[in-house]
């Protein structure tokens, strides 16, 4: 069980570059299944979740070649085998469910385990199934698996009760090869949806309105291969900006699209940090003394991202004043509070609300990462705390960040990665 040893109290300084977006890359890898021609994806980050998605496609019979040094992925779907990717892989990562839309679009019968509820909530897929059913797919739930088939999808009008990112992506991908027009209302508007639509359109699809709450897709008879570059990862970028401010540092984050982070940049400015766009794809974040406590409410894009809530809460744990954090997207996304409080934070959780009383300092402690973004929050807290923090179950971090500790060390952080045999590892939690 890997763990990180973090010596806190060192202000980060220098420049750091953001990798390609995990949450853009995963649906785009699934979209490669919409054609039997080859697809090349550039700017692919070397992440556990990317490798899981590659394994899912290989389990479907696709040939996938990944050169992580170059961030280059080549996918040759060929004739897909009976579409039942390895159940253990699909259960491991919810995003595997994104192969559903593409496989149904190609009239392949599909059997996928229902994505298990994970650390941050139950995360059902009812909106995915509702949209695809409206397009003519038929589903049954047998032994915890979704079995789906269709003789051919038809365009339909679909309204999403919640602007689900995954449901939006599955429905758009399915609609590209449906007969007729699909209008998707209350669609998610995240930048990753726009990147997916741009990739689909480069394959010959006709997707209009991605990034708005109404997306129109004209079905086409078939799609071709493409070469597509993934957008920068706005959540990794936000995590790095927060790392600078929480350590009292001064860092320029490069390969960032400020337009994708307006809510975070506004909140950091409100908290008193120095935020400066120093180029079209570069932002400087610097501390300006102790940050002020600011209230936070996560919302679907362009609201404040739920994926940056844990990291921002770590900053508020050290702020001057009391901050109220409201998590509206997931019902259980405060699992990082336990670790922060064991480092001296004073955070009280009441349902979907957390009251954070800022403290003048935190002290290093052994803490267990509960999930991907909770791991990032505890890492940031460790960088700012006095003394040493042991971050256990750090494997969660590798799901969404590639060599993050190396890049933080290049900014002056003191972090050591220790591989521990499972029996030696302290209780690691989930
Ligand atoms: C995507 O997950 C992201 N993952 C998540 O990032 C992100 O937190 C989330 O969108 C919200 O922005 C990827 O893109 C791979 P949702 P997704 O469907 O698609 C409910 C990270 O840290 N819902 O928008 O699974 C659901 O329960 C990850 O990088 C239904 O009720 O999120 C949740 O409460 C974590 N029925 C809310 O919607 C459905 O059919 C948002 O879920 C689908 C979702």
CATH number of the domain encompassing residue 211: 3.65.10.10
237 lines ligand 1 (CB under 6 A): no
pLDDT at 429: 34
Phi-psi region of 134 (alpha: psi -120 to 50; beta: other; left: phi over 0): alpha
How far is residue 345 from each of residues 2, 82, 119, 340, measured CA to CA in Å? Answer: 25, 51, 22, 5
- The answer to whether residue 118 is catalytic is yes
Tell me the CA–centroid distance for residue 329 and ligand 1, in Å. 8
128 lines ligand 1 (CB under 6 A): yes
As to burial, measured by CB atoms within 10 angstroms (0-12 exposed, 13-18 middle, 19+ buried), residue 197 is buried
Integer Cα distance of 242 and 361 in angstroms: 16
Question: Are 301 and 334 contained in the same domain?
Answer: yes
Residue that is last in its domain, among 185, 202, 229: 229
Convert the pLDDT of each residue in 277-312 to its tens digit: 999 999 999 999 999 999 999 999 999 999 999 999
Integer Cα distance of 91 and 249 in angstroms: 40
The first and second tokens of residue 295, run together, are: 């209230």
Question: Are 344 and 401 contained in the same domain?
Answer: yes
Convert the pLDDT of each residue in 155-172 to its tens digit: 999 999 999 999 999 999
Convert the pLDDT of each residue in 109-129 to its tens digit: 999 988 865 666 667 899 999
pLDDT at 422: 54
The first and second tokens of residue 192, run together, are: 């990753």
DSSP H helix total and E strand total for the chain: 14, 23
Task: Work out the pLDDT band at 82, boundaries 50, 70, 90.
Answer: low
Question: Are 30 and 89 contained in the same domain?
Answer: yes
Sheet holding 13-17, edge to edge: 13-17, 250-254, 282-286, 274-279
pLDDT at 425: 40
Q: Please enumerate in sequence order all residues whose Cβ is within 8 A of that of 111, keeping only pairs 6 or more positions apart, or say none.
A: 83, 84, 145, 146, 147, 148
pLDDT at 83: 59
399 lines ligand 1 (CB under 6 A): no
How many domains does the chain divide into? 2
Q: Please enumerate in sequence order all residues whose Cβ is within 8 A of that of 424, keeping only pairs 6 or more positions apart, or say none.
A: none
Residue that is last in its domain, among 229, 252, 284: 229
How far is residue 78 from each of residues 53, 83, 387, 418, measured CA to CA in Å? Answer: 17, 13, 54, 41
Out of 47, 117, 162, mutate this one to test ligand 1's pocket (max ligand atoms within 8 Å of CB): namely: 162
Range of the domain at 268: 3-19+232-428
Question: Are 51 and 195 contained in the same domain?
Answer: yes
Question: Are 7 and 50 contained in the same domain?
Answer: no
- Other beta carbons less than 10 A from residue 32's beta carbon: 28
Question: Are 236 and 272 contained in the same domain?
Answer: yes
At residue 90's C-alpha, the angle toward residues 125 and 304, to 5°, is 50
Nearest residue (by CA) to ligand 1, atom 16, is 164
The first and second tokens of residue 116, run together, are: 């298990």
Question: Are 14 and 127 contained in the same domain?
Answer: no
Q: Mean pLDDT across the chain, nearest whole number?
A: 94
Tell me the CA–centroid distance for residue 6 and ligand 1, in Å. 30
> Pairing relation of β-strands 157-159 and 181-185?
parallel
Q: Kindly name the residue from 25, 67, 118, 145 that is annotated as catalytic.
A: 118
> Pairing relation of β-strands 138-142 and 145-149?
antiparallel
Question: Are 321 and 195 contained in the same domain?
Answer: no
26 Cα nearest atom in ligand 1:
15
Integer Cα distance of 45 and 50 in angstroms: 7
pTM: 0.96
Residue that is last in its domain, among 229, 251, 266: 229
The first and second tokens of residue 377, run together, are: 């929050």
Percent with pLDDT over 70 in the chain: 95
Phi-psi region of 403 (alpha: psi -120 to 50; beta: other; left: phi over 0): left
With CA atoms as reference, report the closest residue to 266 among 233, 289, 296, 239. 296
164 lines ligand 1 (CB under 6 A): yes
166 Cα nearest atom in ligand 1:
19
Nearest residue (by CA) to ligand 1, atom 15, is 23
Task: Work out the pLDDT band at 430, boundaries 50, 70, 90.
Answer: very low
Question: Are 243 and 112 contained in the same domain?
Answer: no
Identify which has the larger pLDDT, 240 or 429: 240
Nearest residue (by CA) to ligand 1, atom 3, is 23
Task: Work out the pLDDT band at 92, boundaries 50, 70, 90.
Answer: confident
Question: Are 134 and 278 contained in the same domain?
Answer: no
pLDDT at 211: 98
The first and second tokens of residue 10, run together, are: 């060192």
pLDDT at 17 over 50: yes
Q: What number is the average pLDDT over the span 224-245?
A: 98
pLDDT at 427: 36
Question: Are 213 and 238 contained in the same domain?
Answer: no
> Could you write out the DSSP letters of every residue in 58-101?
HHTT-EEEEETTTTEEEEE--S--SB---HHHHHH-GGGGGGHH
The first and second tokens of residue 172, run together, are: 């758009």
Question: Are 221 and 293 contained in the same domain?
Answer: no
């Amino acid at each position: 069980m890997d763990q990180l040893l973090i010596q806190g109290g060192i202000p980060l300084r220098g420049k750091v570059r953001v990798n390609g977006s995990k949450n853009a890359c995963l649906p785009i890898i699934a979209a490669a299944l919409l054609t039997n021609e080859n697809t090349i994806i550039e700017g692919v980050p070397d992440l556990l979740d990317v490798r899981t998605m590659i394994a899912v496609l290989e389990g479907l019979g696709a040939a996938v070649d990944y050169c992580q040094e170059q961030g280059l992925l080549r996918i040759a779907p060929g004739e897909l085998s009976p579409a039942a990717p390895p159940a253990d892989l699909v259960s491991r990562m919810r995003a595997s469910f994104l192969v559903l839309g593409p496989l149904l679009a190609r009239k392949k019968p599909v059997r996928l385990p229902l994505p298990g509820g994970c650390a941050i909530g139950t995360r059902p897929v009812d909106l995915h199934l509702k949209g695809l059913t409206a397009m003519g797919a038929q589903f049954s739930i047998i032994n915890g698996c979704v079995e789906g088939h269709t003789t051919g999808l038809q365009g339909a009008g679909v309204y999403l009760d919640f602007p689900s990112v995954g449901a939006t992506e599955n429905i758009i991908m399915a609609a590209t090869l449906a007969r007729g027009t699909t209008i998707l209302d209350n669609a998610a508007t995240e930048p990753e949806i726009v990147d997916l639509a741009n990739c689909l359109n480069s394959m010959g699809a006709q997707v209009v309105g991605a990034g708005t709450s109404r997306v129109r897709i004209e079905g086409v008879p078939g799609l071709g291969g493409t070469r597509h570059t993934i957008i920068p990862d706005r959540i990794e970028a936000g995590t790095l900006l927060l790392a600078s401010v929480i350590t009292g540092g001064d860092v320029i984050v490069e390969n960032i699209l400020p337009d994708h982070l307006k809510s975070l940049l506004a909140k950091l400015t409100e908290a008193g940090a120095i935020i400066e766009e120093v180029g079209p794809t570069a932002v400087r974040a610097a501390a300006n003394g102790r940050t002020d406590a600011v209230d936070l409410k996560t919302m679907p894009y362009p609201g404040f991202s739920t994926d940056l809530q844990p990291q921002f809460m770590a900053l508020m744990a050290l702020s001057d004043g009391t901050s109220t954090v409201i998590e509206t997207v997931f019902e259980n996304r405060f699992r990082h509070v336990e670790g922060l409080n064991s480092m001296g934070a004073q955070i009280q959780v009441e349902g979907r609300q957390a009251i954070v009383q800022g403290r003048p300092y935190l002290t290093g402690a052994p803490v267990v990462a509960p999930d991907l973004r909770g791991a990032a929050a505890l890492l940031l807290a460790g960088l700012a705390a006095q003394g040493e923090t042991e971050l256990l179950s750090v494997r969660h971090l590798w799901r969404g960040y590639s060599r993050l500790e190396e890049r933080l060390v290049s900014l002056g952080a003191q972090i050591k990665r220790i591989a521990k045999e499972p029996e030696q590892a302290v209780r690691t939690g989930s």
